[in-house]
Amino acid sequence: MKVVLTDHGFASIEQEKSLLAAAGCELVVLQSKDPEKLALACADADALLVQWAPINAAVIAALRHCKVIVRYGIGVDNVDLKAAGARGIPVCNVPDYCIAEVADHALALALSLARQIPQTDAAVRSGTWKIIPPSPFPSFRSTTFATAGFGRIARAVLERARGFGFRLAAYDPFVPAIAFAEAGVQRLELDALWRESGIVSLHLPLTPETRHMVGEASLARMRNDAIVINTARGGLMDTKALARALVEKRIAGAGLDVFETEPLEADHPLRQAPNVLLTSHTAWYSAGSVPELQRKSAEAVVRAIRGEALVNVVNTSFLTPSA
């Protein structure tokens, strides 16, 4: 069996090699993001392991007997799910790793901005010493901390926010009301999410419906003391509209770990916008999350090779209950 690893940024892939060798598989590492090269090199693959490479319809059409495509990570934006489904190829992700790490990162961005830590730090470094922060801000206990989405990571973020005394709320039209009630979280409609929240943290997949959900219209509905956080998918935000809102002080701050184009363009207006924290897609990381991701991805390939039941299948033609 031939498993092709299209691309990766890991220090070592010995874990994958070991797990796949035990299942009788040869691991071929390409380190390519060129669709034409991928189509040629992956044609005879029995499985694909993918990090960032674009697995588009042309690449999928070239696959002759692929049993599974596994994405290192949660998002699957770089895989054409419809094309894979049409060819009978299940696509799996790893949605149950780095939950704590991303939740910690989202809350860290939110707390730092809510307490105006970066602004106060900059003032002190420039020689200004005041015992009040640069601008007034509400207490945590009078602030609604809301998530757009109410999945694993969103719930982990809210549980962390609970410890700081925030009022908790969330928007997710696909989660039943009873789940919100059991978690002690107020359920909000989309308009109320923008209008009522002091902090909004995004935790939704990127779909045609959610693309640029934070844009001119939603920013216009937000409070001028509101903070928005994105550790999910870059395309959820119209970042140029966000930069304008920050410059015009229509919202109080923003914390972003993901962007539509990565690295963030050198001339992007967010780089010059006030009251914004920018991190370089690091929310997922810890010393423990990296080997966990690699192990679970390789295990997903092994299940497919052995004909075992798959978990975390994301293209609807092959949906099975998640592990």
| Distance between CA atoms of residues 71 and 50, nearest Å | 5
Contact indicator for 166, 231 with CB cutoff of 8 Å? no
Catalytic residue at 64?
no
Q: Helix, strand or coil for residue 120?
A: helix
Catalytic residue at 299?
no
User: Could you give the angle at which helices 289-305 and 14-22 cross, rounded to 10 degrees?
Assistant: 20
Of 270, 234, 231, the C-alpha closest to 253 is 270
Q: What does the DSSP 8-state code read for residue 309?
A: P
| Distance between CA atoms of residues 172 and 101, nearest Å | 22
Task: Given the residues 26, 36, 216, 262, select the one marked as catalytic.
Answer: 262
Single-letter amino acid code for the residue at 130: K
Q: Which residue has the tokens 């790893």?
A: 94
Q: Helix, strand or coil for residue 47?
A: strand
Catalytic residue at 87?
no
Task: Given the residues 162, 195, 221, 281, select the one marked as catalytic.
Answer: 281
Contact indicator for 206, 214 with CB cutoff of 8 Å? no
| Distance between CA atoms of residues 102 and 284, nearest Å | 5
Task: Given the residues 233, 260, 299, 303, select the one marked as catalytic.
Answer: 233
Of 310, 298, 304, 294, the C-alpha closest to 21 is 298
Q: Which residue has the tokens 């920013």?
A: 219
Q: How many C-beta neighbours within 10 Å does residue 36 have?
A: 11
| Distance between CA atoms of residues 224 and 250, nearest Å | 5
**Would you please indicate which residues are annotated as catalytic (active-site) residues?**
233, 262, 281
